[in-house]
Structures are given as structure tokens and as C-alpha cells.
Amino acid sequence: MMIYKIFRRSEWDDFTIAGRTLGAPVDLTDGYIHLSTAAQVAETAAKHFSDQSDLVLVAVDASALGEALKWEPSRGGALFPHLYRPLFLTDVIWDKSLPLGVAGHIFPEGVI
């Protein structure tokens, strides 16, 4: 199962240089990296990145994250994937730009 992380371009650039990340400021505050399923990622983009256009969508294979990935209740009680370790560049299956269109973010085909 693919799960997704949305990065601001500067966060993505830092991640690619370092080869690992503890996530965005909200992730650092919460103590884990917030991820979303395909069914959740559009709402995540709309809720947290509604006015941001220079974003990067990253896909990760949930099964490869092992026991560090926990499914915990969040928005509306839905279970969201939370990663309790750094995310490594080697965990990333693919990355794609996530531009902002007139009606919201434009996701790559097949994601949502």
C-alpha cells in the first residue's frame, strides 16, 4: 500500500541533501511524521496547504516502514499513518510536483 507525504519545496530540497528527514515543523512538534493514504491526501493538501503551490508529493511503501509505522486516529477518528522514525530518501518510491490549480491541488494520475 502506498502512503504519501506532502513537502514544501524547501523541505524536500533539505531532505534530498540530507538523505533523511524528521519532517515538517508540525511533525517535529508532534514527535512523528504525518502521512496520508490515497483516500486522505487530497483533504490533507486542502486543509494544510490550501494556498501553497510549490509542493512535492512523495510516495512511500507502507509495508517497508515496519513497526515504526503506527495507524492512529486523527481527523474525524479516521486512522492515519504516523511514522515514528526518520523518513529516509531510500524509503521514497517516487516524488512528483503537486501544483495548485484553480480548483485545488493537481494530483498525479492514479493517486486519488
Please give the model's pTM, rounded to 2 decimal places: 0.94
- Domain ranges (residues) in the chain: 2-105
Contact 89, 70 (CB under 8 A): no
Q: Which helix (H) or strand (E) holds 104?
A: strand 104-105
Q: For residue 112, is pLDDT > 90?
A: no
Please determine, for residue 73, whether its predicted confidence score (pLDDT) is greater than 90.
Answer: yes
Instruction: Work out the average pLDDT over 49-73.
Output: 96
Of 76 and 98, the one with more pLDDT: 98
Mean per-residue pLDDT, 75-86: 93
β-bridge partners, 92: 60
Mean pLDDT, residues 91-108: 95
Whether 75 shows a pLDDT value over 80: the answer reads no
Mean pLDDT to the nearest integer, 7-29: 97
C-alpha distances (whole Å) from 111 to each of 21, 50, 72 are 23, 18, 22
Task: Identify any residues that bridge with 57 across adjacent strands, giving them in sequence order.
Answer: 6, 96
Looking at this protein, which amino acid is placed at residue 65?
Answer: L
**Chain segment 100-111, per-residue pLDDT in tens:** 999 999 999 989
Please state, in angstroms and rounded to a whole number, the distance separating the CA atoms of residues 104 and 24.
21
> Phi-psi bin for 19: left (phi > 0), alpha (psi -120 to 50), beta?
left
Superfamily grouping for domain 2-105 = Protein of unknown function DUF952 (3.20.170.20)
